[in-house]
Structure 1
Amino acid sequence: MKHFYITLALLALISSCDSSKKAVEATPTPQVAETVEPKKPAKPALPAVVVKPAPKQKTMLVGKEDRSALKQAPFDSWFNPNYAKYVVNTDYINDLEKGLEGITITTFMGTWCGDSKRETPRMFKILDEASFKNQDLELITVDRTKKKPTMYTDGNNIIRVPTFIFKKDGKEIGRIVERPVESLEEDMLKILNGEPYKHSYEN
């Protein structure tokens, strides 16, 4: 009988350990939450830098132009100083003012031509001194062949530049070609007064 009670006690002990073990096993292991670092916002892409090529500078003018074109680079390097340093012979200005009434002047010149660079600024300065109207002055710049722009050169017999053509009532009364025979002022006055005049290349 004594052995019976001992056996019951052992069974009770074993069963109690087993249940506690199950209880332990049944208890869930607390989970540690993972720390997730917030994603850094992506840096905005920098806008692409577009490098525009510098505009090409004209080295030659061809076509109908305004005098203001000659005052801009690179032509101002010769036009402005040649205009400034030319001393107009004022003895002729009053007569030129009278003679230029009703006259139109067409200037054919090359921005590549040494004679044009010298004489054109001088002519413009004389005309300014004589109060010549800008609307009666036409400026045509030609290429090295002196044929383009053909819409202006055709029929004008442009062989050398500069060529200053003086017209009255639409008809040519004379021209100064490349350089004056005496001076621009004197040659102009002869043409305007209807005196005998031959330009530098006329037979």
Structure 2
Amino acid sequence: MKVDISQTAILPTPYGDFKLTAFREWTQNIHGRDCELEHLVISSMQIPAKPLVRIHSECLTGDVLHSLKCDCGGELEIALRLIQERGGMILYLRQEGRGIGLFNKINAYALQDQGMDTVEANEALGLPKDGRDYKIVEVIFKHFNLTEITLLTNNPLKLKFLKSFVSVDREEILAPSNCHNQKYLEIKKIKMGHLLP
């Protein structure tokens, strides 16, 4: 795996000051085409021996446009607050739409508008229900010398993957639900096995 690592810069935010480091990964997309992904690590000024870590896949509609269709933006805000309070990092991975990309995600949204759930929409487009790849995480953890973490997640697949190279405890992360994302959250729980109430 070819990876470039940027310098580290300071980012002042409403949540406090963070350090930013970019990781540029040469990889392939879900269609097998070569591509570059530029991931971002947002870390507290001091990283404790057992940091709080959030692996957050990019969601332009939720993170930037504050879409009510998902819980992504809410989870990111919670993670920023907790990382600032307790120390740790957010790995902001450029894997829009569970790895299917923004273009495909909007097409999936259109099918959801017609009544499909998120899994059905992806499958109707011939796409995986979750096409994300977390191999870059091991590279990032090695760069920061992380061997033990507390992971902010509800996704058991992330836990399973991380346990192959780091000692990990889980802490749930629950963004408020609303009338627009209740079905989405139910599908995450029932069809994708997320650890939700």
- The structure number with the bigger radius of gyration is 1
Shorter-chain TM-score bucket reads: under 0.3
Higher helix share: 1
Higher strand share: 2
TM-score by length of structure 2 reads 0.28
